[in-house]
Amino acid sequence: MSTSFPLFPPNASSVATEVDLLYLFITAISAFFVVVVAALVVIFAVKFRRRHPAEVGADIHGSLALELTWTFIPFVLAMIMFFWGADLFYRLARPPADSMEVFVVGKQWMWKVQHPEGVREINELHVPVGRNVRLTLGSEDVLHDYSIPAFRVKMDVVPGKLTTMWFKATVPGTYHLFCAEYCGTKHSGMIGQIYAMEPQAYEAWLAGGSGGPAVPPAQAGEKLFTGPNYACSTCHKADGKGPAPRLAGVYGSQVELADGRKVLADDNYVRESIMVPSAKVVKGFQPIMPPFQGVIAEEQVIQLIAYIKSLKADGPAQ
Amino acid sequence: MSDAVERRNSYLDAPYGVAAWLLTKDHKRIAILYLISITIFFAVGGMFAAGIRLELLTPKGDLWTPDLYNKLFTLHGVVMIFFFLIPSIPATMGNFLIPIMCGAKDLAFPRINLLSWYIYVVGAIVTLAAVFSGGLDTGWTFYTPYSSVSSQSAVTTAAIGVFITGFSSILTGLNFIVTVHRMRAPGLTWFRLPLFVWAQYATSLVMILGTPVIAITVLLVVAERSLHLGFFDPARGGDPVLFQHLFWFYSHPAVYIMILPGMGVMSELVSAVSRKQVFGYSFVAFSSLAIAILGFLVWGHHLFVSSQSIYAGLVFSIITMLVAVPSAVKTFNWAATMYKGSVTWESPTWWVVGFMGLFTIGGLTGLFLAAMGMDIHLTDTYFVVAHFHYIMVGGAIMAYMGGLHFWWPKMIGKLYNDNAAKASAVLVFVGFNLTFFPQFILGYMGMPRRYHAYPDEFQVLNVLSSAGSSILALGYVLPAFYLTYSIFKGQRAPANPWGAAGLEWTIPSPPPTFNFDEEVVVTEPAYNYKPATEVHVG
C-alpha cells in the first residue's frame, strides 16, 4: 500500500487548470469563513465563559448593520461563484464545431467505442492531444456516466437519448475512465483507460488496426440504410419520390412538422424519428413508418445518424 | 412540591404497562416511542455503514460480493434517511416540546399523532421485509430505469415501505402546523415563539408539500415495475430524467426537513448555553422560512450532467447559490449570540461548538457543487458524499445529539454524567472529521460514489476514512451507555438544571401529563434573560 496521496488528479485537458482555479477560489473563501466562524465561537466561548452560576448574558438583541453585512457579503461571493461556474459550464456543455466525433455506447458493464475512421475499442479510448474531441454517448440499458477526472469532464449516458461531451487533451498519458452513475452489480468494474497520444502516435494507432477491418460509422450506417434488414431506402428514396421524406440535407436543418411546429434536426431528433417515428411527423407525409424501438441496437442507430449526417443537400443522395 | 407528589404527576409514571404506552395519546410518551424506534434504526443504519467502511479498507472488492456491497450502501441510505434523519428531531424533540413551548396541554390532534407513529412502524416493518426478502440494490435514490426494470432486488416492497412512511411525515407536519396556529397560549405571539418552533413550522410546511410527490414517484416506479406501464423506461416511451426531476423535487427539500429542525435546536442551545437572547431573532426566524421556500426551487442542481437543459441548469444554480445566504445569516447570528454571553462549558456547549464547525464546512462545500462548471467534475464522486454527510451527520445529527443532551433531564427527569457527554462530543467531532474530510479529497481526485472496488492510489484516504468511522462509532455508542445508566442511577433533575429560559423549564422534570397545572399566559419574549419588565419584540 502506497503511503502518499496526491491532492489533485492529473491535469491533462484544456479546462483542467480552469476548473482547478475555481476549486482553489471556492476553497480559499470557504477556509476563510470556517476560520472566522470557528475563531468567533471558540473565542466567545472562552472569553465570555460563565464566571458565577447565576450570571446571565448582556441584553443585546441584534444589529441591523451586522445583519445586512452578513447578508450582502455572502450574496456577492455566491454570485461570483455562480457566474464563474456558469461560464465554465456553458463552454463545457457546447462542443466546438471543429471537434472530431467519437461514438460511445454504455451497457452493463462495458464501454463500446467507435472512432470516425471506424476503429473500435472496448473500455479504452485513444485520443490525440491538442484536438477537440466530441463524444456522442448512448446507453443500451440503464443510466451510466462517462467520467474522466484527469480532464475534469463527466456526462450522464441516458437510455432513450444521445448526450454529448467534449474535451481537448493536452498532456499525453494514460488516465482513468470511470462510470460515475450507479448502474448495478458491476458498476465499479465499468472502468477503463483513456490514452491521450501525440497526433502521430494516434494516427499510427488508428492505422494499426487492432480490431479487424475498420468501417467508418457513416459507411456502416449506409449499409444498414440500404440493406435488407431495415430497408430504409425503399421509402426514403434519394430522389424524394418515395412515401417518406428525402433525407439529404435534413440533418442540422429546421424541419416543419405536420402539426405546424418547427424542430431542429439534431442527433436526438433523428434518433427519435427512427425509434418512435409517430412522435414527430414531417409535414406532408403520412405516419406509416414502423417504430424501431427495441428492434435496432443503440450502436446501429448511431451509425444511421452518422450516415444521415453525411448526406449533404446538394451532394449525391446515396 | 415534594418529590413524591412530583413523581405521581409525571407523564412517565401512571398509567404503567405496555398497553398504556402503546395506546397513549400523550405527545411526550409518543416522543419517547419515536426516540426508541429511531435509535434502533440509527444502530441498524450504522451497522450498514460499518459494512461499507470495512469493504473500502482495501482497493479490491474482497470482503463482500458486489451485490451485497450495493445493498449495504442502499440500505444505509434508506434506513438513515427515511427511518432516522427525517423523523429524528421533529418526531422526538418536536413532539415533546412544541406543545410545551406553545403553552399547550398536547398537540392539536393527539390521536393522529399516535397514528403517525404506527404508520412509521408499519412502513419500517414493510421496508425491513424488503431487506430480508432479497434486499434493495438501487441506491436510496431509486434511479430509473435500473430500479423499475433491471434490478433483481425487492424494489417494490421497499418502495411501498417508503410510500407508507411518508404518511407519517405528512401527519406529523400537519399536527405541528395546526398546533402552532391554534394552540398557542394567550400572549404567546408569533414573535415570542422560541425559534425551535419556527424551524419546526418551516419543516412541517416542507413535509406537507413535498412528501406527496415522493409518494407518487415511488408508486410510479412500482407501477412501471409490476404493471409495465411506461413512465421512466424509454423502451416503453418513458423518460428516465423525468424520474430524477420528480425524485429530487421531494428529496432536495427533504434535506431541509433534516437540517431545519437541527437549526431550530441550535437556536435554542446557543441561547441557553450563553444565557442570552438569540441575536437577530427575526432574521433567524425568517431565514428558516426562506430556506424552506428556496429549498423547493433548487432540485435541478442534482441534474447538471443529466442532460437537463443548460438554461434550466443556470436557474437552478443561481437559486442554489441564494440558499447560502440565509444559512450564512443563521450561522453568524448564532456566533453573535455568544458575544457577551454567559457561556457555560457544560456538555451541550460542546455539541454546539461541534455543530458550528461541521455545519459551516458542510454548507460551504455546497457552493462547490452549486457552481456548475465545478459540479461537472465533482458530481457523483466522494466529494458529494462528504458534503452531504457534513450537513446531515455533522449538522443534523450533531444538533440532534446536542438537543438530546440538553432536553434529556427534562424528558427523563434524570441527570447524566456530563464528562462522559463531553467525551462523546469530542469523539464524534474528531471521528467525524477523520471519516469524512478525506472524502472531499477523494472526490476531487475523481473517486466515484458507490464503488465496491477502487484504484490503488485512493487507498490511503479510504483507510483514514474507515479508521475515523470507528472513532465516530465509539462517540455514538458511548451515550447509549451513560444515558441508559442515568435512567436507572442518575441524579434526579431539577426543573431547570441549565438555568435556561423557556416554558419547558418552568415545569417539573419530567413534566406532568398535561404539562401545565394552570393556563399559561405569556407576557415576555423568548429568551428573556433579564428582569422581565421590558417587552421587546423582534
Put simply, whether B339 touches A (Cβ < 8 Å) is yes
pLDDT band at B1 (very low <50, low <70, confident <90, very high): very low
Grid cell digits, residue A188: 465499479
pLDDT score for B537: 43
- pLDDT tens digits, B33-83: 999 999 999 999 999 999 999 999 999 999 999 999 999 999 999 999 999
Domains, chain A, with CATH or none: 9-41+66-214 (2.60.40.420), 217-310 (1.10.760.10)
Provide the shortest C-alpha distance from residue B317 to chain A (in Å).
Answer: 7
B341–A79 CB contact, under 8 Å: no
Report chain B's mean pLDDT, rounded to a whole number.
93
Put simply, whether B239 touches A (Cβ < 8 Å) is yes
The helix (run of H) or strand (run of E) holding residue B376 is: helix B372-378
* Cα separation, B411 vs B429, whole angstroms: 25
Provide the shortest C-alpha distance from residue B58 to chain A (in Å).
Answer: 9
CB nearest B374 (choices: A7, A19, A294): A19
**Residue ranges of chain A whose pLDDT lies below 70:** 1-5, 209-213, 314-318
* Cα separation, B402 vs B353, whole angstroms: 10
SS3 of residue A104 by DSSP:
strand
B61–A61 CB contact, under 8 Å: no
Select from B132, B384, B381, B172 the least CA-distant residue to B257. Answer: B172
pLDDT score for B4: 45
Provide the shortest C-alpha distance from residue A238 to chain B (in Å).
Answer: 31
A86–B241 CB contact, under 8 Å: no
Does residue B266 have a pLDDT over 90?
A: yes
Q: Lowest mean pLDDT: which of A297-311, B126-140, B254-268, B459-473?
A: A297-311
pLDDT band at B532 (very low <50, low <70, confident <90, very high): very low
CB nearest A178 (choices: B282, B372, B448): B448
- pLDDT tens digits, B142-182: 999 999 999 999 999 999 999 999 999 999 999 999 999 99
Domains, chain B, with CATH or none: 25-506 (1.20.210.10)
Mutate one of A5, A76, A146 to test the B interface: name it (highest B CB count within 10 A). A5
B380–A150 CB contact, under 8 Å: no
Put simply, whether A65 touches B (Cβ < 8 Å) is no
Does residue B538 have a pLDDT over 80?
A: no
B318–A82 CB contact, under 8 Å: yes
Contacts of B287 in chain A (CB under 8 A): none
What value does the CA radius of gyration of chain A take, rounded to a whole number of Å? 27
Put simply, whether A105 touches B (Cβ < 8 Å) is no
CB nearest A185 (choices: B67, B281, B377): B67
Mutate one of A29, A37, A177 to test the B interface: name it (highest B CB count within 10 A). A37
Mean pLDDT throughout B216-227?
Answer: 94
Put simply, whether A41 touches B (Cβ < 8 Å) is yes
Instruction: Look up the ipTM and state it.
Output: 0.92
- pLDDT tens digits, B341-357: 999 999 999 999 999 99
Count of all residues that appear for chain B in the document: 538
List all residues 6 or more positions away from B448 whose beta carbon is below 8 Å from its beta carbon.
A147, A178, A179, A180, A188, B380, B381, B382
CB nearest A2 (choices: B352, B375, B456): B456
Residue type present at position B535: V
Does residue B316 have a pLDDT over 50?
A: yes
A152–B67 CB contact, under 8 Å: no
CB nearest A156 (choices: B61, B306, B538): B306
Handedness of CA B201, B203, B207, B210 (dihedral sign): positive
Report yes or no: A178 and A170 within 8 Å, Cβ to Cβ. Answer: no
pLDDT score for A211: 54
pLDDT score for A2: 57
pLDDT score for A298: 87
Provide the shortest C-alpha distance from residue A3 to chain B (in Å).
Answer: 6
Q: Which residues pair with A257 in a beta bridge?
A: A282
* Cα separation, B82 vs B41, whole angstroms: 10
Contacts of B66 in chain A (CB under 8 A): 185-189
Grid cell digits, residue B425: 462530543
Q: How many Cβ contacts (< 8 angstroms) between chains A and B? A: 320
A56–B379 CB contact, under 8 Å: no
CB nearest B353 (choices: A29, A45, A150): A45
CB nearest B335 (choices: A40, A181, A185): A40
Select from B134, B135, B159, B164 the least CA-distant residue to B148. Answer: B159
Report yes or no: B80 and B47 within 8 Å, Cβ to Cβ. Answer: no
Residue appearing with cell numbers 415576555: B524
* Cα separation, B401 vs B513, whole angstroms: 25
Mean pLDDT throughout B450-455?
Answer: 96
Q: Which residues pair with A178 in a beta bridge?
A: A147
Q: Which residues pair with B512 in a beta bridge?
A: B10
Put simply, whether A50 touches B (Cβ < 8 Å) is yes
Taking residue A64's Cβ as centre, other Cβ atoms within 10 Å add up to 9
* Cα separation, B244 vs B221, whole angstroms: 12
Mutate one of A15, A22, A47, A59 to test the B interface: name it (highest B CB count within 10 A). A59
- Residues of chain B with pLDDT > 70, as a percent, come to 97
For B443, half-sphere exposure in the C-beta direction (CA atoms, 13 angstrom radius) is: 27
Q: Within the 73-92 window of chain B, which residues sit less than 8 Å (CB to CB) from chain A?
A: none
